Amino acid sequence: MKDKLLGKNLAGLKEAAASCGLKPFVGKQLAEWLYQKRVRSWDAMTNISKDSKARLQESFELGTVAPIGEARSSDGTRKYLFPVSESQAVEAVMIPDEDRRTLCVSSQAGCKMGCKFCMTGRQGWHGNLDTGDIINQFISIEESSELTNTVFMGMGEPLDNYDAVAGAIEILTADWGFGWSPKRITLSTIGVLPKLRRYLDEQHCHLAVSLHNPFPEERLQMMPVQKAWPVQDVVDLIRQYDFSGQRRVSFEYTMFAGFNDDKLHADALIRLLKGIECRVNLIRFHKIPDFPYECATDKAMTAFRDRLSNNGITCTIRSSRGEDILAACGMLAGQQKR
């Protein structure tokens, strides 16, 4: 099987060129075509000679792969299905909002974390995506040139596949790549502590933490990872970093009726996050099969938000997008196989 160029950084592309007897500047040309112009064919690379392209094609493939399925929501959200192996596929979601086009990108086929309210977590883990698989989601959709932001909130736990995700972030932010500001990127995690520290030390992108319950024993009922990485330890680590500047931290809180939506939970959350410059996003739960809880009422969500806001924590109720095409939070499954 040929190695693919998509997903290689500038140094890797120069090495690929050199391995074919070509000058290093060809590697820079490849980066420009792949990441700045986002082409999907060799023929589009008009300033690379036919001989050079022929040499490259003997050892490499571009690595761009078209989606094998898509769905469009009534609100304009589009969900794309991408093959990532002979048997697995992942979903990416493009969310339009006025002048923004945000891509919710996947980092794994399935997920090891096993959160009981998440369709991805319920299907188990089927493998990591490589950096090329991740970047392909940006390049091979119709709105590629319109994208303004991304959230690593699709299928998988990004920090469980940190090296590949870090490679994608490098391509997204490098001047030879997409040239995006790190402020346009948010990574969501349940709090994989060893890799979370690396992310906070090495990256300048925003962080979103899936919290969902301030009480350890109740969080454990929904999120088995609470046993390995207690939420208090995650919050204590975050306290060591400065989020008063350009980098932001938010905490994601899915609201379940009669489980985590009352004053007791709001007050515990206030105590847990005291002193951290952050935002709490309240998320409506989207019903999935064989799960006993319903979404909290609008009245309960509003009261919860107001209680946090009145105690100095910025809190918003997140708008649901793409629920009619199973593209909302926790609903991605990639069930169609290649």
Active site residues: 91, 329
Coil/strand/helix, residue 142: coil
Query: Rounded distance, CA 327 to CA 333, Å?
Result: 9
Compute, in degrees rounded to 10, the torsion defined by CA atoms 54, 37, 91, 1: 10
Residue with tokens 């991408």: 82
Token pair of 337 as six digits:
């196989």
232 touches 272 (CB < 8 A) = yes
CA angle (139, 144, 149) in 5-degree steps? 105
Report in angstroms the alpha-carbon separations of 17 from 5, 6, 36, 75: 10, 13, 18, 44
20 φ, ψ (degrees, to nearest 5): -105, 15
Strand ranges for the chain from DSSP E = 3-4, 60-61, 69-72, 78-83, 89-97, 100-104, 108-110, 125-128, 149-152, 185-189, 206-210, 249-255, 279-284, 314-317
| Helix H or strand E encompassing 309 | helix 298-309
Residue 120 one-letter amino acid: T
Ramachandran region, residue 98 (left: φ > 0; alpha: ψ -120 to 50; beta: rest): left
Query: Rounded distance, CA 268 to CA 231, Å?
Result: 12
Token pair of 137 as six digits:
């989601």
| Helix H or strand E encompassing 134 | helix 131-139
